[in-house]
């Protein structure tokens, strides 16, 4: 494996396929799946996840902005890609030339598309804001008029219409129902006019679990493709998910310190007794293991929980091993499963006051992604060593 550091994010491709299959079963054959691989596939590695999703039969990919779509094209991903966020008019030509679908909700992009006398068609999905308060057309009649204008714009194909729910992951479905009804009125207007839009999509992970009837004909599957539930309020029984990512490191030094010895910056942790065992790990907040977890987090060594002690450093952190049984080179799990014990990402998220998928998104680019299938490593991606063929000291 191409790394000189015993820190990695393991991505279980079997779990990824399991989660996709769970949604295929839950949704039935009439609802397509759009795999959301924005933010480097929520930290899991956009290119590899895209490849695996396509292999599983996913019809469409989604990213946040044009640059992310271009990265996928650069690495040979040929499947349809929707840019979910705003793209300025300056991006129209490159999107059209690379076969990338844009989210559109203002005249600038339409005018840019029409003014270029293209030989290729720009596919667009029109975004309707039904209650999120972000991008998209808010007024129903404005949305209808905009779609009608786009349908008449040369060089443009209105392939889809979509919205995004604000509260789909909550028990109270009042707001999501109001949003769906508004969106349905707009979508149904065109259906009654005999205008067929290929993709009409409103669903996200939470919708696919709790309210699939509010999805229309395609589900944008993001967080739950990675084995994480959108919240504790959605029905965890309907779709059984398996977490895809584990964050792991290894022990690089073991010390048995006298009572009163201090550990890490600020010297705010002191050993309580003679011979207390402190193990150092080569992972820190620059890797996405937040300094705010100091004094709160636990890791796994030999299938047992050990507390993280002292301030988490930029590149390293320390754990206390109470039974003293640990050796250099031993695997440490920061989140994930080891033996019969698990530290779920939800646990870290709760300690940080955030959501589970922010934890995976935080895992930085300098942490290699290790892809595992059938219990075997199939690919190892270390962006820091893309320039070299040198091998690691540990394989």
The two structure tokens encoding residue 355: 């959501």
Residue 365, domain member (yes or no): yes
Give the residue from 269, 274, 227 showing the smallest Cα distance to 246: 227
Domain co-membership, 203 together with 298: no
* Catalytic residue of the set 120, 152, 255, 265: 265
Q: Is residue 171 part of a domain?
A: yes
67 and 130: one domain?
A: yes
Q: Is residue 238 part of a domain?
A: no
- Known catalytic residue: 38? yes
Same domain, 265 and 140: no
pLDDT in tens, 59-92: 999 999 999 999 999 999 999 999 999 999 999 9
**Chain segment 283-334, per-residue pLDDT in tens:** 999 999 999 999 999 999 999 999 999 999 999 999 999 987 899 999 999 9
Do residue 183 and residue 294 come from a single domain?
no
Q: Which of 38, 127, 182, 248 is catalytic?
A: 38
Cβ count near 235 (within 10 Å): 11
Q: Give the containing element (helix H, strand E) for 141.
A: helix 140-152
User: Cα–Cα distance between 122 and 104 in angstroms, integer?
Assistant: 11
The pLDDT of residue 389: 58
**Is residue 272, in this structure, part of any structural domain at all?**
yes
On whether both 179 and 287 belong to a single domain, the answer is no
Quick check: is 265 catalytic?
A: yes
Classify residue 340: in a domain, yes or no. Answer: yes
Is residue 124's pLDDT more than 70? Answer: yes
Which of 167, 191, 225 is the endpoint of a domain? 225
Q: Which of 167, 196, 225 is the last residue of a domain?
A: 225
Domain membership flag for residue 6: no
Q: What average pLDDT does the chain have?
A: 96
Torsion angles phi and psi, residue 112, rounded to 5 = -65, -40
DSSP string, 284-307: -GGGT--GGGTTT-EEEETTEEEE
| pLDDT band per the 50, 70, 90 thresholds, residue 15 | very high
Kind and range of the H or E run holding 144: helix 140-152
Say if residue 134 carries a ligand binding annotation.
Answer: yes
**The total number of structural domains that make up the chain:** 2
Biggest CA pair distance of the chain = 81
pLDDT digits (tens, 9 = 90+) for 145-196: 999 999 999 999 999 999 999 999 999 999 999 999 999 999 999 999 999 9
Cβ contacts of 278 within 8 Å, gap of 6 or more: 254, 255, 256, 257, 263, 271, 309, 318, 319, 320, 321
Check whether residue 193 and residue 52 sit in a common domain: yes
Q: Is 291 annotated as a binding residue?
A: no
pTM: 0.95
| Residue 273 and residue 328 share a domain | yes
C-alpha to C-alpha distance for 219 and 205, rounded to whole angstroms:
8
* Per-residue pLDDT at 208: 98
CATH of residue 249's domain is: 2.40.37.10
| Residue of higher predicted confidence among 340 and 390 | 340
Among 3-7, 57-61, 78-82, 338-342, the range scoring the smallest mean pLDDT is 3-7
């Amino acid at each position: 494996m191409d790394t000189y550091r015993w820190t990695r994010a393991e991505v279980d491709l079997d779990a990824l396929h399991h989660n996709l299959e769970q949604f295929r079963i839950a949704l039935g054959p009439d609802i397509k799946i759009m795999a959301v691989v924005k933010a480097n596939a929520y930290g899991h590695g956009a290119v590899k996840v895209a490849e695996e999703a396509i292999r599983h039969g996913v019809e469409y990919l989604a990213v946040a902005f044009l640059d992310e779509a271009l990265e996928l094209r650069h690495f040979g991903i040929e499947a349809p890609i929707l840019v979910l966020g705003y793209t300025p008019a300056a991006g129209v030509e490159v999107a059209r030339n690379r076969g990338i679908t844009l989210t559109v909700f203002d005249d600038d992009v339409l005018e840019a598309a029409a003014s270029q006398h293209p030989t290729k068609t720009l596919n667009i999905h029109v975004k309707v804001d039904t209650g999120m308060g972000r991008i998209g057309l808010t007024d129903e009649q404005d949305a209808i008029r905009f779609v009608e204008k786009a349908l008449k714009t040369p060089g443009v194909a209105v392939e889809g219409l979509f919205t995004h729910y604000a509260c789909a992951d909550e028990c109270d479905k009042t707001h999501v129902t109001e949003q769906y009804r508004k969106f349905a009125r707009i979508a149904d207007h065109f259906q009654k006019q005999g205008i067929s839009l290929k993709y009409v999509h409103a669903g996200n992970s939470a919708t696919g679990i709790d309210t699939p009837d509010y999805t229309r004909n395609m589900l944008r599957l993001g967080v739950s493709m990675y084995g994480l539930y959108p919240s504790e309020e959605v029905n965890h029984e309907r779709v059984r998910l398996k977490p895809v990512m584990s964050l792991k490191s290894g022990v690089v030094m073991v010390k048995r310190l006298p009572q009163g010895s201090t550990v890490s910056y600020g010297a705010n942790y002191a050993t309580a007794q003679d011979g207390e065992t402190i193990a150092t790990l080569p992972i820190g907040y620059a890797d996405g293991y937040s300094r705010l977890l100091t004094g709160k987090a636990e890791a796994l060594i030999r299938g047992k929980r050990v507390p993280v002690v002292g301030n988490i450093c930029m590149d390293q952190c320390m754990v206390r091993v109470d039974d003293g049984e640990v050796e250099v080179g031993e695997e440490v799990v920061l989140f994930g499963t080891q033996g019969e014990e698990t530290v779920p990402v939800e646990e870290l998220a709760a300690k940080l006051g955030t959501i589970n998928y922010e934890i995976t998104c935080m895992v930085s680019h300098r942490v290699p992604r290790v892809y595992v299938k059938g219990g075997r490593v199939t690919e190892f991606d270390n962006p820091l060593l893309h320039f070299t063929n040198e091998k690691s000291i540990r394989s």
